[in-house]
Amino acid sequence: MSGVRKRHSAPFKAKVALEAIKQDKTIAQLSGEYGVHSNQISRWKQHLVLELPGIFTGKKKAKEKKAEELQAELYRQIGQLKVELDWVKKKSELLC
């Protein structure tokens, strides 16, 4: 036994975890096929199941938050421009 840990890419982990969720093959079969310990495959599968709901909501929430921040900034700028416009109108009336 070499004792060297192998690092797997995220797409590889997702592929193996997805196959484990499908249950077309046993964890032991996947372990032999991909050369990954069965406990590791079970952890990847569990992680995928836990994170799956967030995939569909996380991006939407982030986009909504950015949109709200942009909207707030635009309203702030509109308010500032209105104040400046009112000031210019008032000053121009004094000149006439």
76-94: pLDDT as tens digits: 999 999 999 999 999 998 8
Q: What is the pLDDT of residues 39-76, one digit of tens each?
A: 999 999 999 998 888 777 766 677 888 999 999 999 99
Check residue 59 and give its pLDDT: 67
- H-state helical runs in 1-96: 10-22, 27-34, 38-95
Query: Does 1 map to a domain?
Result: no
Q: Classify residue 70: in a domain, yes or no.
A: yes
Report if pTM > 0.85: no
Residue 26's pLDDT is 94
Burial (CB count within 10 angstroms: exposed 0-12, middle 13-18, buried 19+), residue 17: buried
Is 3 within the bounds of a domain? no
Q: Which domain holds residue 20?
A: 10-95
Residue 37 lies in a domain: yes
Alpha carbons within 13 angstroms on the beta-carbon side of residue 17 total: 19
**The total number of structural domains that make up the chain:** 1
Q: Are 19 and 41 in contact (CB under 8 A)?
A: no
Assess if residue 45 is contained within a domain: yes
For residue 5, tell me if it sits in a domain.
Answer: no
